[in-house]
Structure 1
């Protein structure tokens, strides 16, 4: 009877761990997507900033 109970607990633990792993995997995928979006935004902002400074420098040297 004790063996049956521990076996049931093992099945419950395995199912619980599986659910937790699935949740963690979903969260990790969301974080990876957010990171990709942030990297894209940063690249656009850096490009705009560099273009602004190049234009400003060019206008300043033309004076």
Structure 2
């Protein structure tokens, strides 16, 4: 159970970090006129990690037991 829960949360974090990487490689920064700084990358990466943890925990909480 613990291993499955950890895998679910880590999978969600990996997905969220992948989304962040795709966004950083896409043209959305220039489209919205955002300057890519180290602070911007750290803040958005941490935000996506928090999102991944919440998503993974929510999926585990909502799945049938």
Same fold (TM over 0.5): no
Taking structure 2 as the reference length, the TM-score comes to 0.42
Of the two structures, which has the highest relative contact order with CA contacts closer than 8 Å and spacing of 6 or more? 2
Taking structure 1 as the reference length, the TM-score comes to 0.43
Larger radius of gyration: 1
- Structure with the higher helix share, 1 or 2: 1
